Amino acid sequence: MWGWWRFGKWTVLIMFLHIIAILIFTKGFLLTRTELPHSSHCSDLSQSPCHSSPSSSSCWTKPAVDRLIIIVLDALRFDFVAPSSFFEEKQPWMDKLKVLQRMASENPSSAKIFKAIADPPTTSLQRLKGLTTGALPTFIDVGNSFGAPAIVEDNFINQLIQNGKRVVMMGDDTWTQLFPNHFNKSYPYPSFNVKDLNTVDNGCIEHLLPSLYQQDWDVLIAHFLGVDHAGHIHGVDSTPMIEKLEQYNAVLEKVIKELQNQSGPGKLHENSLLLVMGDHGQTLNGDHGGGSPEEVETSIFAMSFKDLPSLPSEFDSSSCEPSKNICISSIPQLDFAVTVSSLLGVPFPFGSIGRVNPELYALAVCTWNLDDDKTWNNQDQTKLEEWLQNYANVLCINSWQVKRYIDVYSASSVIGFSSEDLFRISDLYSKADENWSYTKNLSSYKNGSSNTSLPVLKRQIVAYSNFLSYVAELARSKWTEFNLKMMGTGIGIMLLSLYCHTLAIKKLNKSYGVSLLSSRDSGISFGLMLTFFMVLIRAGSLLSNSYILKEGKAANFLLATTGIMTLRYSFMKNKMLIEAAIFLLLTFIFRIAIEVGLYKQAATSQFMSSSSSWMLGISISQSLWTYMAEIMPILALIVLGYFLYKSISSCCWGIPKYVIMGTILCYFLVALHWISESNILDLAHFLKGFGKNCIPRTVYAITLVQLSLLAIVPMFCKEETSNCRGSLFVKMMSILSACSSTIIILQGKQGALVALGSLLAGYCMMRLQGIEQHTVSGTAGISILDPLPVLQWSLLAVCLLFASGHWCAFDGLRYGAAFVGFDEFILIPQAILLTIDTFGFSNILSVFGLPLFVAFPSSFNQTEHKSLFPIKLFWIFMVYGLITAITAAATILCVTIQRRHLMVWGLFAPKFVFDVVGLILTDLLIFVASIYYFNGLEDRIGNAELRRLW
């Protein structure tokens, strides 16, 4: 074993470094807020210290608004709404929504413009989620159905439905994706066609005005998309954008006029509130998604149709424009859900961490005062006190709800808050609460006629506000702010590991070169340069979301490029032309498979809407294709089995022979399994008694037995063979065949084809390896270690991942594979099966197949010294590991650079998770494989000789 340890320690060191780097980086990067499935209920309020509302009809708060009209204008910049006098310079797109400005300046107490601050990522889907849940964005929605974006967290739409409110939706179909069964009526229009500026808007306008007269709804949501699309296509400073804004102005004017007409006592919109709001802003180019002020700042215009007193100045944070009589204050979007819930009198969403905004609340809330207390005196003081009393109570409920969420969250989540933070939260809350019991008592027996209660109430409100803002700030820093120090440390350790890796490879090179006394070589061959360039370009490509989306194609492009280079070499040498051509043909086939995979991906992905249309031609002769699809995999299996049979009949003995025979049996079983599943031959009844889970389970069992045989037997008996190339080959064949049957049955029918393809490609590569170096080194018998075949092998591995229908996203996992042979969900076996399915070809088989380049004598340098075997094998493992590590490091770097990117959670983060898991798996497999292959290899070479070498 000591011979293995001589270089094996490097693999252990590197694996250790990788794991540490990844752990540290992940802790700083992945902002995992887990979603809790709980929701708030009316009855929960009895646990709170706050006043419950006196009448039985209301729930948490007294409803202040009967009907709510929410008009969402997608990508509404703040300067679309705010008067141009707020900005340094008047731009052509400003002051177009004149009706909103006029309303805000005419009745400042009932209409107001707010600057709303969104939390990045500023995409519509994420923002709608944030607006309705009142929570911060999440990365992994653990526990819900993957792919479908439906919201699982408690949200205010859900609360509306639970409390018997009727919701009507029109416009952007994102709403119906998020809330599939929530709306009484919905008029969704497709949102994916960016070039279409009018369909969604016209649909909205068509339904919006008639709906205003109808009585069958309580909340109306109209989502206009035109401004967003106009921005994406033409930019902000463009005629279509200005036309859109003018169109909206006309529509809003009509809506407001209708609402005003209907707002008299006893009429339909007596107690209505109109909200015109953006979900996010946009840059001047029309982009959004990131966290820049232009993207984050949007607007909310709120208007109620009652004459209301204005708010005490302590709670008025607005900045005013004296000349125009418009005041604008700022509100975080986080506060939206809870404020609207309190206005409608429904329970606040469970996971909301917002605060009931006093200004928005004040716009609507005095209305019930007028109804309830007919005898209220006209003193402003009393009125104000009553308002404050009410608002303090609402904040009390609000704080209690937030505190409850924080408690439940930190109790159930793995990565919660630190104990100091929790202590500070509890401290702030208990302080506010202490005051509250005092305030409550005060107001209950003094009955609001004293001057002393006013400051007490104000203090109380400030205490609650402090608590709420502290929680929001803390949550933001924990959930939306990256810990750059930790990320930096992680990257640093990762780079250190890369340095160690290259050191180890240099050391191997040295012992390889020194033993042959060929130090005259500069060591930089064309192959090395090409490899370096390819790895670099692949690493650089990860910086862009487009290349991540089409990573399979990019990898295939590089693979085909190396294929063309080898074809050129084989032309140069007039050798192996057929192998090189077959290799290119195989890359072409893989590419088609990858495109089919992309096609599948486009069907579910929210980022890809384009589908390559040539695929549609395939479905013309449906029956023939389905027939082919049934037959081809089975044929491929037969061919694979035949190859294995040939290999054991030529050179094999002992355990490996039994292992390979077991695999052939497995292939037979797999073929039987597929036949029984398919409809071509009606064998289903034939196998019915057998049970459909039996075959997969038998295959798993056989694989386990094979693997344990391979692992245990060499420890006890050592066969003496002189030919170590042959024994290496047999070892490789046996372990590959042992793994392959399970992987094939998990991957389904494509598995057999992919396996056959990779076998052929591996054969070609093995034949072609070293084709370049001979010309470089000149003298025969000296082989420079050439990294090009290893690069090809690792690119092929990437292609295999994509060709077998996977992609680097969570909906790219094939969940069906977890249930091959199992009916019910058991976490651990299913997770293992899923891992084997995902990384089977790209990692497991690739790493175990690496000795391919050593096991066969390269046709270009026959006289290789056999004692160099272990070194070369190790070198290949190390180079493969290095290529994987460089890619993963590049992913980590790119994710860091793009951490504020629009698709950071949609694309970069899943890619990061995939790469990181793949890297650790590769490290582990290299560790295992090197032990497996080296056990016995060194005996044959003889320790004495090894000692001399090393």
Using CB under 8 A as the criterion, which residues of the chain lie in contact with another protein when the complex forms?
194, 544-547, 549-550, 553-554, 556-557, 560-561, 563-564, 568-569, 571-572, 574, 584-585, 587-588, 591-592, 612-614, 617
**What's the min distance (Å) between Cβ of 78 and another protein?**
27
Nearest CA to 200 out of 144, 246, 248 is that of 248
Q: Is 147 left (phi over 0), alpha (psi -120 to 50) or beta?
A: left
Evaluate the omega torsion of the peptide bond into residue 332 and state whether it is cis, within 30 degrees of 0.
no
Q: Give the nearer residue to another protein in terms of CB position, either 576 or 926.
A: 576
Strand pairing of 67-73 and 219-224?
parallel
Nearer to another protein, 551 or 837 (CB): 551
Nearer to another protein, 13 or 585 (CB): 585
Is 644:733 a contact under the CB 8 Å cutoff?
yes
Question: Minimum distance from CB of 614 to another protein (Å)?
Answer: 3
Residue (513 or 552) nearer to another protein, CB: 552
Q: Which is nearer to another protein, 539 or 813 (CB)?
A: 539
Read off the tokens for 364: 């609507």
Shortest distance, CB of residue 517 to another protein, whole angstroms? 29
C-alpha–C-alpha distance, residues 272 and 363, integer Å: 11
Supply 799's token pair. 């292609």
Which residue, 368 or 557, has its beta carbon nearer to another protein? 557
CA distance 43 to 844: 54
**Minimum distance between the CB of residue 592 and another protein, rounded to whole angstroms?**
7
Q: How far is CA 100 from the centre of its chain?
A: 38
Identify which of residues 466 and 561 has a Cβ nearer to another protein in the complex: 561
CB atoms within 10 A of CB 478: 17
Comparison of 286 and 358: residue with beta carbon closer to another protein: 286
Dihedral pair phi/psi, residue 806, rounded to 5°: -105, 160
- The residue (of 644 and 894) whose beta carbon lies closer to another protein is 894
- Sheet order of strands, 67-73 included: 185-189, 167-172, 219-224, 67-73, 272-277, 297-304, 111-117, 326-332, 319-321
Closest approach, Cβ 553 to another protein, in A, equals: 6
Q: How far is the CB of 121 from another protein (least distance, A)?
A: 16
Minimum distance from residue 119 beta carbon to another protein (Å): 24
Q: Is 319 exposed, middle or buried (0-12, 13-18, 19+ CB in 10 A)?
A: exposed
SS3 299: strand
Integer Cα distance of 550 and 16 in angstroms = 31
CB of 560 to another protein, least distance (A): 5
Cβ closest to another protein, residue 462 vs residue 589: 589
Counting other chains too, the contacts that 719-723 makes at CB distance below 8 Å and 24 or more residues apart are: 719/653, 719/654, 721/940, 722/940
- For 626, residues 6+ apart whose C-beta sits below 8 A from its C-beta are none
Burial class (CB in 10 A: 0-12, 13-18, 19+), 414: exposed
Tell me the closest approach of the beta carbon of residue 552 to another protein, in angstroms. Answer: 10
518 contacts: CB under 8 Å, gap ≥ 6: 782
**Residue 492: how many other CB atoms lie within 10 Å:** 13
Beta carbons within 8 Å of 282's beta carbon, 6+ residues apart? 75, 77, 228, 231, 236, 288, 294, 295
Nearest CB to another protein, comparing residues 49 and 190: 190
- The minimum distance between CB 567 and another protein, in angstroms, equals 9
Q: Which amino acid is at 92?
A: P
Q: How far is the CB of 534 from another protein (least distance, A)?
A: 12
Cβ neighbours for 846, distance < 8 A, ≥ 6 positions apart: 793, 794, 796, 797, 800, 880
Give the nearer residue to another protein in terms of CB position, either 477 or 612: 612
Rounded to a whole number of angstroms, the minimum distance from the CB of residue 569 to another protein is: 8
**Closer to another protein at the Cβ: 557 or 950?**
557
Neighbouring C-beta atoms of residue 552, cutoff 10 Å:
25
CB of 537 to another protein, least distance (A): 8
Q: Which is nearer to another protein, 61 or 587 (CB)?
A: 587
The DSSP line for 424-475 is HHHHHHHHHHHHHHHHHHHHHHHTT--STHHHHHHHHHHHHHHHHHHHHHHH
Q: For residues 381 and 609, which CB has a smaller minimum distance to another protein in the complex?
A: 609
Which amino acid, 586? L
Least distance to another protein, CB of residue 584, Å: 5
CB of 899 to another protein, least distance (A): 19
Q: Which of 296, 251, 2 is nearest to 126 (CA)?
A: 296
- What Å distances lie between residue 775 and 11, 781, 784, CA to CA? 32, 12, 11
Which burial class, exposed, middle or buried, applies to 890 when counting CB atoms under 10 A from its CB (0-12, 13-18, 19+)? buried
Assign residue 459 a region (left: φ > 0; alpha: ψ between -120 and 50; beta: otherwise): alpha
Q: Which tokens belong to 65?
A: 């608004």
Beta bridge partners of 301: 113, 276
Q: Provide, rounded to whole angstroms, the least separation between the CB of residue 800 and another protein.
A: 16
394 CB burial (10 A radius; 0-12, 13-18, 19+)? buried
> Closest CB to another protein among 100 and 798?
798
Question: Of 610 and 622, which has the nearer Cβ to another protein?
Answer: 610
Cβ-based nearer residue to another protein, 613 or 863? 613
* Shortest spacing between CB 480 and another protein, in angstroms: 25
626 vs 662: CA distance, rounded Å: 30
Q: Least distance (Å) from another protein to the CB of residue 710?
A: 38
